[in-house]
Structure 1
């Protein structure tokens, strides 16, 4: 029987930059496996396939998803095993609190097909540069939206009667 699968939004870009709740989620988990490696090294694919496999074996799994890339999970938590596997190479680096005791690091670069990667060198470099540029553009757009929202809020607040608004909500 397939285990229950949940999806939890754990990270997002904001007008103040990227924010994640993963460090807070990891605090109470006794066993953590942290995947490190370059973009495209298979961290999210490994996390997704692991979660799917464990679910098929009957385990409950909780995929941790980022609004920045909802198709690529940032982590998977397995409650019955009291364990999580997370991408440790995000915008906010994640490392074990007590290395070797509560967390292990797995470097995905140890499993690369270096010859195949080299054949796609220019494409990989171009995509990595493009992703970084889009991340900067998204942050700038969110900052601009926050300024616009603040301006609108100030203008609207000048015409609202706070006491009447409170009466409506009671």
Structure 2
């Protein structure tokens, strides 16, 4: 069985300001775990989420990579739907965007 990889931008800067779909990442009441990762710039939050996502793909799980709207190589969130698990960047400004809906 081949894993499905979904890549999305859950938020973006628009002419009307920042628009967010963060509240649709995972339903809090349905989630088994939601991990909020905090740390300064460059400490490896995005790399860790990429590595975990890639390992889950190797195990056959579908994975959603939620990319940063200002840096498409950076990951702001990761969801493994079958496990009902999400990881999100919990540092500012992500914390305000993501946690307001989780």
Same fold (TM over 0.5): yes
Q: Does 1:77 align with 2:79?
A: yes
Aligned equivalents of 1:97, 1:91: Cα separation in 2: 14
Cα offset for 1:6? 1.1
Answer yes or no: is the 8 Å Cα contact 2:37–2:90 preserved in 1.
yes
- Structure 2 unaligned residues grouped into runs of 5+: none
Instruction: Trace 1:6-45 onto structure 2 (pairs within 5 A).
Output: 6-28=6-28, 29-30=30-31, 31-45=33-47
Aligned equivalents of 1:67, 1:96: Cα separation in 2: 18
Q: Which has the higher helix share?
A: 1
Aligned equivalents of 1:38, 1:18: Cα separation in 2: 22
Cα offset for 1:8? 1.4
> 2:4 maps to which residue?
4
Aligned equivalents of 1:3, 1:18: Cα separation in 2: 32
Structure 1 residues 83 and 96: CA distance shift in structure 2, 3 A: farther
SS at match of 1:40: coil
- Bigger relative contact order, structure 1 or 2 (CA pairs below 8 A, ≥6 apart): 2
Calculate the TM-score normalised by the size of structure 1: 0.50
Instruction: Trace 1:141-156 onto structure 2 (pairs within 5 A).
Output: none
Runs of 4+ in 1 over 6 A off after TM superposition: none
Query: Match for 2:65 among 40, 60, 63?
Result: 63
> 1:137 maps to which residue?
none
Greater radius of gyration (CA): 1
Aligned equivalents of 1:27, 1:67: Cα separation in 2: 21
Q: Which has the higher strand share?
A: 2
Answer yes or no: is the 8 Å Cα contact 1:20–1:92 preserved in 2.
no
> 1:49 maps to which residue?
51
Aligned length: 98
SS at match of 1:41: coil
Pairwise CA RMSD of aligned residues?
A: 2.4
